[in-house]
Amino acid sequence: MNTLLLPAHGQNTAEVAAQIIRNGGLVAIPTETVYGLGADGLNPEAVAKIFIAKGRPQDNPLILHVADPSQIEQLCHHIPDSAYALAKAFWPGPLTMVLPARACVPACTTAGLPTVAVRCPDNAVTRQIIALAGVPIAAPSANLSGKPSTTTAEHVLHDHDGKIDAVVDGGPCRVGVESTIVDLTEERPRLLRPGGITPEQLLAVLGDLVIDKAVTAQIDKDAVVKAPGMKYRHYAPECQVIIVSGSREQAAKYIRSHFAPGDRVLCFAEELALYTDCAPLAYGLEADASTLSAGLFAALRQLDDPSISRVFARCPVGGGIAYAVQNRLKKAAAFQIVDAEAEV
């Protein structure tokens, strides 16, 4: 199959992409978070193609992307006031809500759950495609399952060229990590995955938030969890990733003394000079965590190279978007963290 590369601002891009979706094909779509691998979310055969293209486990449900917040009423029932408040505050934007699913949502989209995840992305051409297709678009991150997410059209082509119908090229994604997921089906709202909308922002609207244990710890692969996707090793290059925490100086001391040929260092731009002999790769500025979220996946993809044995990684601390960066990096490291302060 020849994969079409459609520029986001091309004259017929939205029509062509929407037509492919309506015909049951696969189109990779840009969003403000990461690129998604999209199909008609109400068509089981089309959705099945997503799972095959990604090599995605069947028990991992998909997010339905809508063009307009009001569209969730066709997909969900018993929508609480808190969902409307969140939509008003953060949509279009990097927030996904888990709500009770209506019968029109097929089991392959929800992985058999009684709930469905919905999101209105902050990307004009993608919302236009959804509106023209006339159906919600089911779209996981467009990476091959387990690999770092795709934040450029080139990343998508690297993983899927010749296997999907089209990629809409909207340039690099602004946020760079996937949406925040909040489950609104229980008595208390629960954060299932941190992302572009921070816990602080959610709390300001909801007044209450439980942080699911999958956010902060490694989950056994056989465990029953709220967000099935959170239990798999994720976002990871093939090699071992070790997070080294502590002050800039202590971390550099630890990493330099353990560094061996074939290793790499993933660090903040401010630290590059400390690692001149250690093949450093900077993914953003520690002083501006939004540059770290925007650069993380491209860096992890670059480090997904069979010639690399280990990656020593520096991870930001604190809340805001840094919280989402920590979550992704810890998952990439399978929660292997060395405290450089305790090592000296």
136 is a site residue for ligand TXA (CB under 6 A): no
Paired sense of beta strands 310-313 and 240-245, if any: parallel
With CB under 5 to 8 Å by kind, the binding choice for 62 among ligand TXA, Mg ion, none is ligand TXA
In angstroms, the CA 186 to CA 253 distance is 47
Q: Summarize as ranges the residues that interact with Mg ion (CB under 5 A).
A: 141
Is 173 among the residues that bind ligand TXA (CB under 6 A)?
no
**Dist CA 225 CA 320 (whole Å):** 24
CA 199 vs. chain centroid, Å, equals 16
Q: Does 97 bind ligand TXA (CB under 6 A)?
A: no
Q: Which one of 61, 148, 170, 199 is in contact with ligand TXA (CB under 6 A)?
A: 61
Span from 31-39, 74-82, 122-130, 255-263 in contact with ligand TXA (CB under 6 A): 31-39
Tokens of 200: 């602080």
- In the shown chain, the binding pattern of residues 103 to 122 toward ligand TXA, with x for contact by CB under 6 A and - for none, equals -------x--x-xxx-x-x-
Peptide bond before 106: cis, by omega within 30 degrees of 0? no
Greatest C-alpha distance within the chain: 61
Among 207, 150, 172, 191, residue whose Cα is nearest residue 28 = 150
Rounded least distance, CB 178 to ligand TXA, Å: 3
Q: What is the DSSP string of 190-250?
A: EEEE--SS-HHHHHHHHS--EEPHHHHS---TTS--SSGGGGS--S--SSEEEEEES-HHH
Q: Which is nearer to Mg ion, 141 or 185 (CB)?
A: 141
Q: What's the closest the beta carbon of residue 97 comes to ligand TXA, in angstroms?
A: 10
Using the minimum distance from each CB to ligand TXA, give the nearer residue, 61 or 189. Answer: 61
By CB under 6 A, tell whether 178 contacts ligand TXA: yes
Considering CB distances under 5 to 8 angstroms, the limit depending on partner class, which of Mg ion, ligand TXA, none binds residue 34? ligand TXA
**Which residues ranging from 226 to 255 are in contact with ligand TXA (CB under 6 A)?**
226-230
Q: Binding to ligand TXA by residue 192, rule CB under 6 A?
A: yes
Q: What type of residue sits at position 211?
A: I
Minimum distance from residue 318 beta carbon to ligand TXA (Å): 22
Q: How far apart are CA 29 and CA 37, in angstroms?
A: 6
283, 284, 258: which is closest to 338 by C-alpha?
Answer: 258
Task: Give me the residue label for tokens 């690297």.
Answer: 158
> Nearest distance from residue 245's CB to ligand TXA, in Å?
25
Q: Which residues bind ligand TXA (CB under 6 A)?
A: 31, 33-34, 36, 60-63, 96, 98, 110, 113, 115-117, 119, 121, 139-141, 178-179, 181, 192, 226-230
